[in-house]
Amino acid sequence: MSHWNYRIGYNSKTDSYAIYSVYYNDEGDATSTSLTPAVVEAESLEILREELNRMLLALENPVIPMDGFLNDE
């Protein structure tokens, strides 16, 4: 079943890390990412807290190299 989560991505062109939405196929392979880092905005503090907690989970997974996912700029 396809799914998504937040992951830390490393951009070698800018030598920086950021949180991206990463999308997976049914086999669990990362197939695409958001083109820009995640932005957090919510309608309530509770929803904001939940979103930030999902982002913190990204620190528990290996960093994804963004080369190949991001377009050349």
Per residue in 1-10, pLDDT (tens digit) is 789 999 999 9
Give me the residue spans of the domains in the chain.
3-65
Confidence (pTM): 0.84
Radius of gyration of the chain measured on its C-alpha atoms: 13
10-69 pLDDT per residue, tens? 999 999 999 999 999 999 999 999 999 999 999 999 999 999 999 999 999 999 999 878
pLDDT of residue 58: 97
For residues 6 and 64, is the Cβ–Cβ distance under 8 A?
A: no
Look-up of token digits 């820009």 = 36
